[in-house]
Structure 1
Amino acid sequence: MSHDGWPSHIGARVLVLGGIRSGKSEFAESLLSNAPSVRYLATAVIGDDEAFAARVAAHRQRRPQSWLTVPTEGDPAMLLGALVEALPEETLLVDDLGGWAAALLAADGAEQRVRELADAVRACRARLVLVSPEVGLSVVPPTEAGVRFADLLGLTNQAVAAACDSVVLVVAGQPSWLRRPGAPDALETPEVPATAGAKVTTASPAEKAAAAVANVPVVSPEVVVPTPAVATPSQALHERTQALPIVATGLVIQPGMDLPIPDSDARDAARDHLNLLDIAGSGLGKLSEVVLFAAGAQSRAVPAPWRTPRLLLLHGDHAGGVTAGQSAARSARIADEARQGEGAIGLLAGEYAVSLQVVGTAAAGPVEFEPATTLDVVEAALRQGWQLADEAADSGVDLLILGSCGAGAEAAAAAIVSAVTGAEVPALLARVVGPDGAVDDTAWMDRCAAVRDALHRVRGRVLPPKEMLAELGGADLAVAAGVILGATARRTPVLVDGPVGVAAGLIARDLGSPSRLWLAMADHGRHPTTVLAADVLGVPPLVDVQPGLGEGTASLLALPLMRSALTLAAALPALPPVLDAPPEHLQEPEATQESEATQEPEATQGPEAAAAVAEVDHPTDEPVTVAQPETEHTDGRPSPVE
Structure 2
Amino acid sequence: MNKLKETIRLIDGVDTKAEKQMEQHINSLTKPIGSLGSLEQLAIKLAGIKRSTQPEVDPATVIVMAADHGVTKEGVSAFPSEVTKQMVHNFMNEGAAINVLAQVAKATVEVVDIGVKENLDLPGLINKKVCFGTNNMMVGPALTKEEAIVALESGIEVAQEAIQKGAKLLALGEMGIGNTTASSAMLSALGQTSVETVVGVGTGLNNEGKKSKIQVIKRAINVNQPNPNDPIDVLAKVGGLEIAGLAGVVLGAAAARIPVLLDGFITAVAALTAVRIAPLCEHYLMASHQSMEPGHAVVNQLLGLQPLIDLHLRLGEGSGAALSLPIVRSAVHIVHKMATFEEAKVSGIS
Q: Describe how 1:23-422 pairs up with structure 2 within 5 A.
A: 250-253=2-5, 257=9, 259-279=11-31, 283-304=35-56, 306-320=57-71, 321=74, 323-362=76-115, 363-422=133-192
- Code of the residue aligned with 1:330 in structure 2: it is V
Q: 1:282 Cα deviation (Å)? A: 5.4
Q: CA separation in 2, counterparts of 1:390 and 1:281?
A: 38
Q: 1:308 Cα deviation (Å)? A: 0.8
Q: 1:519 Cα deviation (Å)? A: 0.8
Evaluate the alpha carbon distance shift between residue 500 and residue 268 of structure 1 in structure 2; reply closer, same or farther with a 3 A threshold.
same
Q: 1:578 Cα deviation (Å)? A: 10
Structure 1 gaps, min length 5: 1-245, 583-642
Q: 1:539 Cα deviation (Å)? A: 1.7
Q: Deviations over 1:603-632 (max 9, x none)?
A: xxxxxxxxxxxxxxxxxxxxxxxxxxxxxx
Contact in 2 for aligned 1:341/1:350 (Cα 8 Å)? no
Q: Deviations over 1:28-67 (max 9, x none)?
A: xxxxxxxxxxxxxxxxxxxxxxxxxxxxxxxxxxxxxxxx
Q: Deviations over 1:264-312 (max 9, x none)?
A: 11111111111111026953222222211211122112333x2211111
Who is 2:267 aligned against? 501
SS of the counterpart of 2:38?
helix
Q: Describe how 1:506-521 pairs up with structure 2 within 5 A.
A: 506-521=272-287
Q: CA separation in 2, counterparts of 1:419 and 1:254?
A: 27
Q: CA separation in 2, counterparts of 1:322 and 1:481?
A: 26
Q: 1:322 Cα deviation (Å)? A: 6.7
Contact in 1 for aligned 2:69/2:176 (Cα 8 Å)? yes
Evaluate the alpha carbon distance shift between residue 257 and residue 454 of structure 1 in structure 2; reply closer, same or farther with a 3 A threshold.
farther
Residues matched between the structures, number: 328
Evaluate the alpha carbon distance shift between residue 432 and residue 508 of structure 1 in structure 2; reply closer, same or farther with a 3 A threshold.
closer
Q: 1:480 Cα deviation (Å)? A: 1.1
Q: Describe how 1:537-576 pairs up with structure 2 within 5 A.
A: 537-576=303-342
Who is 1:428 aligned against? 198
Q: CA separation in 2, counterparts of 1:504 and 1:332?
A: 21
Contact in 2 for aligned 1:266/1:301 (Cα 8 Å)? yes
Q: CA separation in 2, counterparts of 1:328 and 1:410?
A: 13
Q: Deviations over 1:125-178 (max 9, x none)?
A: xxxxxxxxxxxxxxxxxxxxxxxxxxxxxxxxxxxxxxxxxxxxxxxxxxxxxx
Who is 1:469 aligned against? 235
Q: Describe how 1:523-534 pairs up with structure 2 within 5 A.
A: 523-534=289-300
Q: Deviations over 1:199-227 (max 9, x none)?
A: xxxxxxxxxxxxxxxxxxxxxxxxxxxxx
Q: Deviations over 1:69-114 (max 9, x none)?
A: xxxxxxxxxxxxxxxxxxxxxxxxxxxxxxxxxxxxxxxxxxxxxx
Q: CA separation in 1, counterparts of 2:226 and 2:153?
A: 29
- Code of the residue aligned with 2:44 in structure 1: it is L
- Computing the radius of gyration from Cα coordinates, the structure with the larger value is 1
Q: 1:334 Cα deviation (Å)? A: 2.5
Cα root mean square deviation, aligned: 2.5
Evaluate the alpha carbon distance shift between residue 460 and residue 563 of structure 1 in structure 2; reply closer, same or farther with a 3 A threshold.
closer
- Code of the residue aligned with 1:329 in structure 2: it is E
Evaluate the alpha carbon distance shift between residue 269 and residue 342 of structure 1 in structure 2; reply closer, same or farther with a 3 A threshold.
same
Q: Which region of structure 1 is more displaced relative to structure 2, 333-342 or 481-490?
A: 333-342
> Quick check: which one's helix share is greater?
2
- Code of the residue aligned with 2:304 in structure 1: it is G
TM-score normalised by the chain length of structure 1: 0.48
Q: 1:467 Cα deviation (Å)? A: 1.6
- Code of the residue aligned with 1:333 in structure 2: it is Q
Evaluate the alpha carbon distance shift between residue 380 and residue 281 of structure 1 in structure 2; reply closer, same or farther with a 3 A threshold.
closer
Q: 1:449 Cα deviation (Å)? A: 1.1
Q: Deviations over 1:421-465 (max 9, x none)?
A: 11111111123453xxxx612221221111111111134856522
Q: CA separation in 2, counterparts of 1:575 and 1:299?
A: 25
Q: 1:503 Cα deviation (Å)? A: 1.3
Q: 1:257 Cα deviation (Å)? A: 4.0
Q: Deviations over 1:510-560 (max 9, x none)?
A: 221111111110102243212111111112112222323324101101111
Evaluate the alpha carbon distance shift between residue 478 and residue 461 of structure 1 in structure 2; reply closer, same or farther with a 3 A threshold.
closer
Q: CA separation in 2, counterparts of 1:297 and 1:262?
A: 5
Contact in 1 for aligned 2:287/2:308 (Cα 8 Å)? yes
Q: 1:254 Cα deviation (Å)? A: 8.6
Q: CA separation in 1, counterparts of 2:8 and 2:61?
A: 28
Contact in 2 for aligned 1:322/1:412 (Cα 8 Å)? no
Q: Deviations over 1:461-514 (max 9, x none)?
A: 565222211101022211111111111111111111212212112221122111
Higher relative CO (Cα under 8 Å, sequence separation at least 6) belongs to 2
Q: CA separation in 1, counterparts of 2:61 and 2:203?
A: 29
SS of the counterpart of 1:271?
helix
Contact in 1 for aligned 2:39/2:330 (Cα 8 Å)? no
Q: CA separation in 2, counterparts of 1:328 and 1:542?
A: 31
Evaluate the alpha carbon distance shift between residue 578 and residue 561 of structure 1 in structure 2; reply closer, same or farther with a 3 A threshold.
closer
Who is 1:228 aligned against? none
Contact in 2 for aligned 1:310/1:397 (Cα 8 Å)? yes
Structure 2 gaps, min length 5: 116-132
TM-score normalised by the chain length of structure 2: 0.86
Contact in 2 for aligned 1:290/1:542 (Cα 8 Å)? no
Q: 1:385 Cα deviation (Å)? A: 0.6
Evaluate the alpha carbon distance shift between residue 315 and residue 262 of structure 1 in structure 2; reply closer, same or farther with a 3 A threshold.
same
Q: CA separation in 2, counterparts of 1:544 and 1:509?
A: 24
Q: CA separation in 2, counterparts of 1:475 and 1:294?
A: 29
Q: CA separation in 2, counterparts of 1:409 and 1:379?
A: 18
- Code of the residue aligned with 1:357 in structure 2: it is E
- Code of the residue aligned with 2:20 in structure 1: it is D
Evaluate the alpha carbon distance shift between residue 254 and residue 534 of structure 1 in structure 2; reply closer, same or farther with a 3 A threshold.
farther
Evaluate the alpha carbon distance shift between residue 322 and residue 397 of structure 1 in structure 2; reply closer, same or farther with a 3 A threshold.
farther
